[in-house]
Chains A and B, each alone.
Chain A
Amino acid sequence: MEIIAQRPKALTKLSFTYCPGCLHGVAHRLIAEAVDELGLNDVMTGVAPVGCSVFAYKFFDFDMAQAAHGRAPAVATGIKRARPNMHVFTYQGDGDLAAIGTAEIVHAANRGEHMSVFFVNNAIYGMTGGQMAPTTLPEMKTTTSPYGRKTDDIGFPIRVSELINSLIAPYYIERVSLLTPADIIKAKKAVKKALLYNKEGRGFTFVEFISTCPTNWGIDPLKSREWAKENMLPFFKVGCLRDKGEGVE
């Protein structure tokens, strides 16, 4: 019998514990497939954040570190400097990366630290129960913005990819969406490119995923993707912001 799909080697046998309709599982799988395809399994290491994906350290079947909230890029820096033969990525949500960990991500990117960052943006804090994130959209209601995000009070959502793109050192920056099968195929290409550049030691690579949170948005999974398409994609435009390797063989 021919196998046409199976669990990537880079994932452990544990079942994901994410909510129904959550796209973390998709993002995990894309990373794992790329690790398999690039043959990085024995030299890969990931850093899990604080947030819903805190348990990522159990799901990837290579060495993993779990970092304090927002500190994953600093932890990854320490790992990479200590074990230059290993290839490191961080996996972070919007609260972790764009609020409490702003200094760490900006400075790791600015150093051109040899790592990949996978940034999952679903405009809300998931694990703690649906609080406002730095990427929460204007007028969007969350448990800590019950009357909607008021931009004259708390400011506008942060476009992190654009922020990173203002720095000189980063090698590759792309924002992708996980909202449709076609988007996921494009996202896979971005993940693989980031890890390929990582494997080749080219520098700092950054992929932002536009994702959903059906549970905390209070919308069913399919509708949540429609909601994200209508509301998030106009503000967070997908596309490659920078690719210093373009045209490089």
Chain B
Amino acid sequence: MTKVLMKGNEAVAEAAIRSGCRLYFAYPITPQSELIEYMAKMMPKVGGTFLQAESEVAAINMVYGAAGAGRRVMTSSSSPGISLKMEGISYIAGAQLPAVIINVQRGGPGLGDIQPGQSDYFQAVKGGGHGDYHLIVLAPSSVQEFADMAGEAFDLADKYRTAVMILADGMLGQMMEPVEFKPAKTAEEIEALNSQHHDWCICPNVEGPEHHHHEINSLEIDPSVLEQHVYNLYDNYATIEKNELRYESYNVSDDNEILCVAWGTASRIVKSAINELKVEGKSIGMIRPITVWPFPYQEIDAAIGKNVKKVYVFELNMGQMLDDVKIAVNGKVPVDFWGKVGGIVFTPAEIKTKLEECF
């Protein structure tokens, strides 16, 4: 397979189609427009469904319907649009449906701007919608990883019957990098995917068990039944936390005087600064959570070497993942934070300056 130069928005769409996604419902919004446009162009060519919904609200409910029918389905948007989807996301969580949602984040709050941001971290990992639930949240830091996560997201969604969010940003959506795609699923593989949920999904009786009455539902009017349902959801989340945690450990060693924690786009820039300072003889490690839910609490704690004076968190927000890092560090060493907001992306030089001040 040769590499192609592609925008993140297009690469993730292509990878989703290759992963067997044949249904996509969305509403236009910058900076994810290339994603919806790619789907509009390509879905008809593979016999899939592309539908531009009347709203983000309608789009996520179309996803709820198609996921309830047991098919691989995806929607995508950017921050304000994801807010609109939150009601549907909560229902999807409650009804335990597998679905993939992409957020190409921009600056907020409100209409904000259209430049890259990371200020939807809380929304993605701490709820966003109402009720007790989690999404698996994957945070890519390159176009290649963004694309790879499409297939991983569908596999995780199907395995655990949960919604998976890919939390990207305007930079990853808009930038082009070389991408190598995994082979597309064959017709037989897609057929198998379409019938994998026949024991619970909406499907003709002739395709599933003899006669069935499947309910796609998040309503349990009896509090004791609802309580048990939520306990079951959390048993599932516990399994996910045990099995699916992912993070990158960069330049972590006993020599580290600083341990950085950064995710997504921010982590790339921190890496640049770490590399430059390494040349100057300064040892700095970095943990990059790849799943931001589940979050690598213990792994961050374990990466704090004996010479680490400080844990430094860099985000393109006012300090959101920072809270989780503080839980992980639990007072062992001071935790510092620096962020840029409103769609302004910090530069390697700025991060370098911040880190130099620590020595």
Contacts and interface: CB of A to CB of B under 8 A. Distances in A.
Contacts of B260: none
B213 A63 contact: yes
Give the size range of B's interface with the partner.
Answer: 35 or more
A83 B203 contact: yes
A68 interface: yes
A148 to B, nearest CB: 32
Given A68-B61, A68-B91, A83-B204, A78 B215 contact: no
B232 interface: no
Given A71-B57, A103-B58, A82 B218 contact: no
B64 A45 contact: no
A193 B201 CA distance: 28
Contacts of B91: 67-68
A58 interface: yes
Contacts of A54: 219
B335 interface: no
B216 interface: yes
Contacts of A92: none
B156 to A, nearest CB: 20
Contacts of B202: 45, 63, 65, 79, 82-83, 86
Given A57-B217, A63-B214, A82-B70, A43 B205 contact: yes
Nearest to A110: B54
A43 B69 CA distance: 12
Interface in B29-84: 49, 51, 53-55, 57-59, 61-71, 73
A42 B208 CA distance: 10
B203 A65 contact: no
B25 interface: yes
A104 B58 contact: yes
A75 B217 CA distance: 12
Contacts, number: 130
A174 interface: no
Contact of B216 (A66, A81, A104): A66
B215 A58 contact: yes
A227 interface: no
Contacts of B88: 68, 71
Given A12-B213, A83-B202, A86-B202, A104 B54 contact: yes
A178 interface: no
Contact of A64 (B51, B215, B218): B215
Contacts of A47: 65
A76 interface: yes
Interface in B190-246: 202-206, 211-219
B213 A78 contact: no
Nearest to B54: A107
Contacts of A228: none
Interface in A27-66: 41-43, 45, 47, 54, 57-58, 61-66
Interface residues of A, number: 34
Contacts of A78: 23, 25, 61-69, 73
A83 B204 CA distance: 8
A81 B218 CA distance: 22
Contacts of A85: 204
B204 A79 contact: no
A42 B213 contact: no
A64 B212 CA distance: 10
B87 interface: yes
A12 B213 CA distance: 9
A61 B25 CA distance: 29
A75 B206 contact: no
Nearest to B53: A74
B193 to A, nearest CB: 12
A198 interface: no
Contacts of A68: 61, 64, 87-88, 91
A75 B54 contact: no
Contacts of A12: 213
A77 B51 contact: yes
Contacts of B87: 68
Q: Which of A12, A58, A68, A75 lies at the interface centre, i.e. has the most chain B CB atoms within 10 A of its CB?
A: A75
Interface in B262-309: none
Interface in A132-175: none
B311 to A, nearest CB: 41
B62 A57 contact: no
Q: Which of B63, B65, B91 lies at the interface centre, i.e. has the most chain A CB atoms within 10 A of its CB?
A: B65
A153 B25 CA distance: 37
A67 B73 contact: no
A152 to B, nearest CB: 30
Interface of A: 12, 41-43, 45, 47, 54, 57-58, 61-68, 71, 74-83, 85-86, 103-104, 106-107
Interface of B: 23, 25, 49, 51, 53-55, 57-59, 61-71, 73, 87-88, 91, 95, 202-206, 211-219
10 cross-chain pairs, A with B, having the tightest CB-CB distances, nearest first: A78-B65, A74-B61, A42-B205, A82-B69, A78-B62, A78-B66, A107-B54, A82-B66, A65-B216, A75-B65
Given A65-B215, A76-B65, A107-B53, 8 more contacts: A62-B213, A63-B202, A67-B91, A68-B61, A71-B64, A77-B58, A78-B25, A78-B68
12 contacts: A42-B206, A61-B213, A62-B205, A64-B216, A66-B216, A66-B217, A76-B65, A78-B61, A81-B65, A82-B65, A83-B203, A86-B203
